[in-house]
């Protein structure tokens, strides 16, 4: 199957999942995750309609983003950083990405705030939450809920970042349905944060990947991040 066919099929399945849940399919943004794939594959996805792209590493993404943006000019897509960001790479990330979905600590948010301030930008961010408390995953730890809320209070006060919502990586499970309670928890947390911190937007719920995006959409995802179902298996 070509990237174009894959992309069309994923779009259709997003629409089906949204309709099943009584939602408007336009509420769900598809981020095509192009990590490990070359600019040519990204341009193919763009030609098929991909307008939001996701990359997980700043160094790998930098060159690809430059090449793709140059090829597309005014049609350039929006770039989402979805992988863990080391603080020393923050300046580069702020330069090339349009959204940072993977903010997993107060210190990182403060570093992004400073870097964005230096270039008079306000950086859209999502807070990554470790819903399954998986020791192998990044993200805020909800077991320490009071500490989390204190950090959120500080983050929403930073002028050069704009908190738009939450992101999570679903747990590794054998059937997508087992991920459902985790996605539901993320939505409940988002609703609570919206009550507690009305000065931030909290519109976005980035959850759902190739194996579980239909379930995530049924539970309220506004952003799904899909790699393999569009670009094929990754070797790396």
Ligand X SMILES: *Cc1c(COP(=O)(O)O)cnc(C)c1O
Decide: is 64 part of the binding site for ligand X (CB under 6 A): no
Which of these segments, 6-14, 115-123, 137-145, 224-232, binds ligand X (CB under 6 A)?
A: 224-232
Q: Which two tokens stand for residue 83?
A: 């992988």
Which of these segments, 103-111, 154-162, 184-192, 220-228, binds ligand X (CB under 6 A)?
A: 220-228
Query: Please, what is the minimum distance in Å from the beta carbon of residue 209 to ligand X?
Result: 4
> Is the Cα torsion angle 41, 64, 80, 78 positive or negative in sign?
negative
Nearest CB to ligand X, comparing residues 48 and 160: 48
Q: Can you list the positions of beta strands (E) in the chain? A: 29-33, 52-55, 78-81, 99-103, 123-128, 161-167, 204-206, 223-226
Nearest CB to ligand X, comparing residues 160 and 225: 225
Decide: is 228 part of the binding site for ligand X (CB under 6 A): yes
As a whole number of angstroms, the distance between CA 196 and CA 97 comes to 29
Query: Please, what is the minimum distance in Å from the beta carbon of residue 117 to ligand X?
Result: 26
Residue pair 55/35 in contact (Cβ under 8 Å)? The answer is yes
Query: Please, what is the minimum distance in Å from the beta carbon of residue 63 to ligand X?
Result: 19
Decide: is 227 part of the binding site for ligand X (CB under 6 A): yes
Residue pair 165/126 in contact (Cβ under 8 Å)? The answer is yes
Number of Cβ within 10 Å of residue 75's Cβ equals 9
Which of these segments, 42-50, 66-74, 182-190, 221-229, binds ligand X (CB under 6 A)?
A: 221-229
Query: Please, what is the minimum distance in Å from the beta carbon of residue 86 to ligand X?
Result: 15
Nearest CB to ligand X, comparing residues 104 and 160: 104
Q: Which of 85, 150, 149 is nearest to 123 (CA)?
A: 85
Query: Please, what is the minimum distance in Å from the beta carbon of residue 221 to ligand X?
Result: 12
Residues 2-61 that bind ligand X (CB under 6 A): 33, 35, 56
φ/ψ (deg, to 5) at 124: -70, 130
Nearest CB to ligand X, comparing residues 202 and 213: 213
Binding mask 158-197 for ligand X (x = CB under 6 A): -----------x----------------------------
Number of Cβ within 10 Å of residue 110's Cβ equals 17
Residue pair 80/53 in contact (Cβ under 8 Å)? The answer is yes
Residues 94-153 that bind ligand X (CB under 6 A): none
As a whole number of angstroms, the distance between CA 160 and CA 20 comes to 38
Q: Which residues contact ligand X (rule: CB under 6 A)?
A: 33, 35, 56, 82-83, 169, 209-210, 225-228
């Amino acid at each position: 199957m070509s990237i174009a066919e894959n992309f069309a099929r994923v779009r259709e399945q997003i629409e089906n999942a949204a309709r099943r849940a009584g939602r408007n399919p336009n509420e769900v943004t598809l981020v095509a995750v192009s990590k490990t794939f070359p600019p040519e594959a990204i341009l193919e996805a763009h030609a098929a309609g991909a307008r939001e792209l996701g990359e997980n590493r700043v160094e790998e993404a930098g060159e690809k983003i430059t090449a793709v943006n140059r090829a597309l000019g005014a049609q350039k897509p929006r770039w989402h950083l979805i992988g863990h960001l080391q603080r020393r790479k923050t300046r580069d990330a702020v330069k090339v990405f349009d959204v940072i979905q993977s903010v997993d600590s107060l210190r990182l948010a403060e570093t992004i705030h400073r870097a964005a301030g230096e270039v008079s930008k306000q950086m859209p961010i999502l807070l990554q939450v470790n819903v399954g408390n998986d020791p192998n995953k990044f993200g805020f730890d909800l077991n320490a809920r009071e500490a989390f809320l204190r950090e959120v209070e500080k983050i929403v006060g930073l002028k050069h970042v704009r908190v738009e919502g939450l992101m999570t990586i679903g747990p590794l499970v054998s059937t997508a349905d087992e991920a459902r309670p985790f996605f539901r928890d993320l939505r409940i947390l988002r609703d609570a944060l919206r009550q507690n911190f009305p000065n931030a937007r909290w519109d976005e719920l980035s959850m759902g990947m190739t194996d579980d995006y239909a379930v995530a959409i049924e539970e309220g995802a506004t952003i799904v991040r899909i790699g393999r179902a569009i670009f094929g298996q990754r070797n790396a």
